[in-house]
Amino acid sequence: MATDLRLPTERIVRPDKDRFLNEENPFEAMMARFDHAAELLDLEPGLYKVLRHPEKQITVSCPVLMDSGEVEVFVGHRVLYNTSRGPAKGGIRFDMGVTLEEVKALAAWMTWKCAVVNLPFGGAKGGVLCDPAKMSVGELERLTRRYTSAIFATLGPDSDVPAPDVNTNERVMAWVMDTYSMRMGHTVTAVVTGKPVEMGGSLGRREATGRGCMLVTKEALKHLGLKVQGTTVAVQGFGNVGSVAADLLAKEGCKIVAISDKTTGYYNEKGIDIPAALAHVRKNNSFADVLKLSQQHKVNMRTAAYMLSISRVATVHRLRGIYA
């Protein structure tokens, strides 16, 4: 009935998305593509200069008390690239490869992605240079809260809305939301997306990016005149995005012949059993309804309703780390 909150680090922090590039300077690599598009648009020189520079770049030092009793200082970044269309939107990643240039590039891409589908948002991105796989749950929470406090001035539903990214998830977003809410003096659920459903998160959010990948792939096949049924697919990355995309494409009739993540790759020309490959993924707990609680505990419906509501409120408190 309640979400399992006592999870080991490897179950809280997962490599949800593989790193996307190895180019020496990701920002300039992105801008090379921007320059070509700007030239084709005959973009005014003034606007070109404006759009080539991020609105705001924040670099912060985040001292964290480690479980060993020592203090480590982690460097974090938050970039708001452009907010002319609306509040900045973009994830926060925890990774040893985080650099300001990478965060700038990702923030720019968020700007273009929101604009190309005509969403009223600007682009942002954030990251902390750390190795979350080597950190305990408590250390990750303390780092998240310190980083959130350091960039607090830019955050807000009408200014900058973070989301999960590489090595961050709904639990991390719960910590961000709780830290921001504490500073504001009241609960502000809209300060992040990708938070737990129990805290106002959206059903289907975790699967949304992978589902989008599946839909885009089907449209590309249609454009190329290829049939979905039997088309062979290789999926690079098998976290929240790749695993969902592989599962949905397989259900559409594609043959998934290769999957990989940062640790290994697997190829089978006859096709991979995706449900079997997904067997290691954590199972989601389901919420029992009032009737089920009533039958289970042999109580009346009113008492069962109290039990369910109290459980849900208590779960939110635990998710926000009050008892951590």
DSSP class per residue in 227-246: -STT-EEEEE--SHHHHHHH
* Cα 174 from Cα 141, distance rounded (Å): 10
Higher model confidence: residue 74 or residue 204? 74
User: Is 227 an active-site residue?
Assistant: no
pLDDT given for residue 286 in this prediction: 32
pLDDT digits (tens, 9 = 90+) for 274-287: 988 887 543 333 33
Of the listed ranges 53-62, 229-238, 280-289, the least confidently predicted one is 280-289
> What's the gap between Cα 198 and its chain centre?
17
* Cα 58 from Cα 104, distance rounded (Å): 10
pLDDT given for residue 3 in this prediction: 43
Domain coordinates in residue numbering, the chain: 9-24+54-201, 206-280, 290-319
Considering the domain delimited by 9-24+54-201, tell me its CATH architecture.
3-Layer(aba) Sandwich (3.40)
* Portion of the chain with pLDDT greater than 90, in percent: 50
Overall average pLDDT of the 247-263 stretch: 89
CATH class of the structural domain 206-280: alpha beta
Instruction: Return mean pLDDT, the chain.
Output: 83
Q: Please give the span between the terminal C-alpha atoms of the chain, in angstroms, as a whole number.
A: 19
* Cα 111 from Cα 79, distance rounded (Å): 11
pLDDT given for residue 288 in this prediction: 36
In which residue are the tokens 């062979």 written?
232
23 three-state secondary structure: coil
Q: Is the pLDDT of residue 150 over 50?
A: yes
Higher model confidence: residue 262 or residue 170? 170
pLDDT given for residue 23 in this prediction: 58
Of the listed ranges 106-110, 259-263, 269-273, the least confidently predicted one is 259-263
pLDDT given for residue 314 in this prediction: 57
Of the listed ranges 23-27, 236-240, 288-292, 320-324, the least confidently predicted one is 320-324
Of the listed ranges 49-63, 164-178, 289-303, the least confidently predicted one is 289-303
Give yes or no on whether 9-24+54-201 and 206-280 have one common fold: yes
Higher model confidence: residue 236 or residue 303? 236
Of the listed ranges 11-15, 133-137, 144-148, the least confidently predicted one is 11-15
List 56, 125, 283, 298, catalytic entry: 125
Torsion of CA 41, 80, 113, 101, to 10 degrees: 80
